Amino acid sequence: MSRAASVAATLPGAMPHPIEVEGLTKRFGKLVANDAVSFCVRPGETYGLLGPNGAGKTTLIRMLTTLLPPTSGSARIDGHDVVSERSAVRRAIGTVSQAQTTDENLTVRENLSVQGKMYGLSGRLLRDRIGQRLRQVGLWERRNQLTRHLSGGMRRRLEIARGVLHAPRILFLDEPTTGLDPQSRRAIWDMFGELRADAPLLSIILTTHAMEEADFLCGRVAIMDQGRILCEDSPDALKRALATGERVELETDRPIVQEDRLAIAEEGAANLRFASPTRVQFEARPGESTGRRVARLLEGAGYHIVHLSIALVTLEDVFFAHTGRALRDT
Amino acid sequence: MSQREERETARGARLALLGIAAIGQRAFVTLWRQPVLVVSTMVFPVLYLLILGNAMNRQLERVPLAVVDEAGNAFSAECRRGVLALQGGRRLVSAAFPADRGAALDGLRRGRYRGVWILPFGLSPSGPAPSFIGDNTDRFSFEALETALRQVWAEASAPKETASAPAVRLEAYPYLDYLTYLGPAVVCLAIFMGSMVSGGLQVLEDRMFGYHEGYLVTPITTGTLVAGHILAGAIVASVAGLLVLACVLLLTSLPLVTGPSLAAAALTVFLTSTSIAALWFLLFARARSASLLRGMFGIINVLLFFPSGALYPVESYPAWLARLSAADPLTYGLKALRNLLLRGASPQAAYADWIFLATFTIVCGVLTKVLFRREV
């Protein structure tokens, strides 16, 4: 798992990665919240920590944002140690935590003004920056509204504007869309595009238990469970690495007879299911054209293929394959 | 110092000032947007002054007294005249003259009279003296009546020709009623309430709602956080204190107040505010739940407000209470305010109190910084 970290170590004089985590462990008494977690995030990358509640994502983020001291291991943010160089780390990062960190008695603009001052922004620079960020997250029209009158989605957008107000090099987002309706979630995803366009080198690390979010937003994803990272790669690569990473569905014009069913199984189709006498579903290893071979086999046997779909499985299936459990929104 | 270090120092100072400004901005705006807090801080102390001041301030009036004249001689007539004078003059009593002592004592037991004064048969300076039977469930009335009646008898029985000149009694300052005595105490109460609604207790509230995660990850230093919250709490408390001070000046008669003592009083209000704000923050530096505050509020109120001499002079406290009083910053704030406002002292009279308050603030602030944990 420390592949990325060791790459950095073997390149003398190379720029440090924005995030380098090595063997990071956090224990609360007997409970191990994070067990020797290692990974790194590259400049301009969006890195997702995907896992169910209780997987240790928030604890990991808290250690990386100086809110919790690690029990052992080390982490460097923008080249600074999260224990010994906390103030340098704090200058480099922006965070959006799960908690509501905007004061509901302040207006949208006042919230950003208070936050900006804590980063040493003031006067015209602060005003301009607030205007810019509010436009990016689509809250400019509501700048003078009290935060308590914002919807959940708008409030989350304000939190994100707050997190990037001071133009950090690294942005931490702890479950940025949890609890939002699909439209608000979509609005936040779109906003990421805007932020990216504005800061191409900004590294984003986000936690989520929504696989489609990780799929859509993240260049690389680490799947976490019980305090450990189980695997880490781009969403597509994670799916392709599975023996059952491809999902095939075929429909024929007449019922498939028993003899042909056995032939399909021999082509390497896993988890073979017949949803109806004419419809077959199975999974296969990606890159082996199993779906196509099965289609050809059936056509050879005189069937007419009414429908054929071949798709990669979802990250949910990847999670299931690694843990034997479903990733549920619990 | 190298140029680079100088730049670092300047940047640190700028960051600290901006951090304090940010905390102050938030404290004021949030206070202003929650009228219930403004009301509780500013209106409560003034109500306290009006109600407690008027309830306790009064000389006793219209205390029902029964006088039973069994003597019917010149002395008893003199005594009755004295009682009527008490009723007509300072209106201490509302006198009744029942025919016999049975009816009078029955009235006493039923609560109709607070006292019965019996002028027995043969009343004279050398013979039987008047007897006073008082309702001692109400000590205030009991003592006032007893004193007044003893004086009436002394005058009635004294030989006219040897009547002595009245004793000389000097009041060092213009007459102050209890309402005025209470004035500085009420200013301290406003400071106490004001320091509760913002400052360090804001941090406690932030911890409950998670707001603190937003600023603990910023480069603001712990020292700035502590100083900012103490200062924000102190300014809110000072505003409350000064507004209530203005009300006190309007409602009561403080004749001796001049420009310099008023300015010194304002400074005293500010220093008292910082010390109370710092104490609150220290007490709750590690607290994580607001139920602690709810539970502790009454206790801290009692431990700070009453030992300060707000309601009763400190000098009469027993030793253990006096020690508590000596450590209570409100004691010093109150002492300085009384000196400046009631006695019209020059600002020099408050120097020692100011030094205590400032030291107290600094000690609390440093301890808070040490105890404060940034970890969530």
Q: Per-residue pLDDT averaged across B277-302, rounded?
A: 84
B30 with A95: Cβ contact below 8 A:
no
Domain boundaries, chain A: 3-235, 243-312
B375 with A69: Cβ contact below 8 A:
yes
Residue with tokens 């009631």: B342
In chain B, residues 192-221 whose CB comes closer than 8 Å to chain A: 209-221
A120-124, B27-31, B42-46, B112-116, range with the lowest pLDDT = B42-46
Report the gap between the CA of A164 and the closest CA in chain B (Å): 12
Burial group, residue B27, by CB count within 10 angstroms (0-12, 13-18, 19+): buried
pLDDT of B68 reads: 92
> Other CB atoms closer than 10 Å to residue B10's CB: what's the count?
10
Chain B contact for A66 (CB, 8 A cutoff): yes
Indicate if the pLDDT at residue A221 is higher than 80.
yes
| Predicted TM-score of the model (pTM) | 0.78
Alpha-carbon span A223 to A12, nearest angstrom = 30
Residue with tokens 């499985």: A313
pLDDT of B256 reads: 58
B211 with A99: Cβ contact below 8 A:
yes
Report the gap between the CA of A92 and the closest CA in chain B (Å): 9
Q: What is the CATH number of domain B59-159?
A: 3.40.1710.10
Chain B contact for A103 (CB, 8 A cutoff): yes
Alpha-carbon span A52 to A330, nearest angstrom = 7
CB B45 within 8 A of CB B305: no
Indicate if the pLDDT at residue B304 is higher than 70.
yes
pLDDT of A4 reads: 45
Mean pLDDT, rounded, of chain B:
85
Nearest CA in chain B to A114: B22
**Chain A partners of B209 at a C-beta cutoff of 8 Å?**
99-100
Q: Pull the structure tokens for residue B238.
A: 């000072």
Residues 6+ apart with CB under 8 A from A138: A157, A187, A191
Q: What is the CATH number of domain A243-312?
A: 3.30.70.2470
Q: How would CATH label the architecture of A3-235? A: 3-Layer(aba) Sandwich (3.40)
Closest in A95, A106, A119 to B219, CB measured: A119
For the ranges B78-92, B126-140, B214-228, B241-255, the maximum mean pLDDT occurs at: B214-228
A99 with B213: Cβ contact below 8 A:
yes
SS3 call for A117? helix
Nearest CA in chain B to A116: B22
Chain A contact for B33 (CB, 8 A cutoff): yes
Report the gap between the CA of A160 and the closest CA in chain B (Å): 11
Residue percentage of chain B with pLDDT more than 70: 92
B214 with A87: Cβ contact below 8 A:
no
Indicate if the pLDDT at residue A330 is higher than 60.
no
CB A183 within 8 A of CB A154: no
pLDDT of B246 reads: 87
A95 with B217: Cβ contact below 8 A:
yes
In chain A, residues 126-155 whose CB comes closer than 8 Å to chain B: 146
Kindly indicate whether the ipTM for this predicted assembly is greater than 0.85, answering yes or no: no
Alpha-carbon span B263 to B332, nearest angstrom = 17
**Chain B partners of A28 at a C-beta cutoff of 8 Å?**
none
Indicate if the pLDDT at residue A51 is higher than 70.
yes
B30 with A65: Cβ contact below 8 A:
no
Chain A contact for B9 (CB, 8 A cutoff): no
Closest in B25, B210, B219 to A114, CB measured: B25
pLDDT of B373 reads: 85
pLDDT of B49 reads: 78
**Chain A partners of B20 at a C-beta cutoff of 8 Å?**
none
A97 with B213: Cβ contact below 8 A:
yes
Domain boundaries, chain B: 14-56+177-371, 59-159
> What would the pLDDT profile of A244-301 be if each residue is shown by its tens digit?
888 999 999 999 998 888 888 888 888 889 989 999 999 988 888 888 899 999 999 9
Q: Per-residue pLDDT averaged across A61-82, rounded?
A: 94
Nearest CA in chain A to B14: A120
* Plot region of A271 (φ>0 → left; ψ -120 to 50 → alpha; else → beta): left
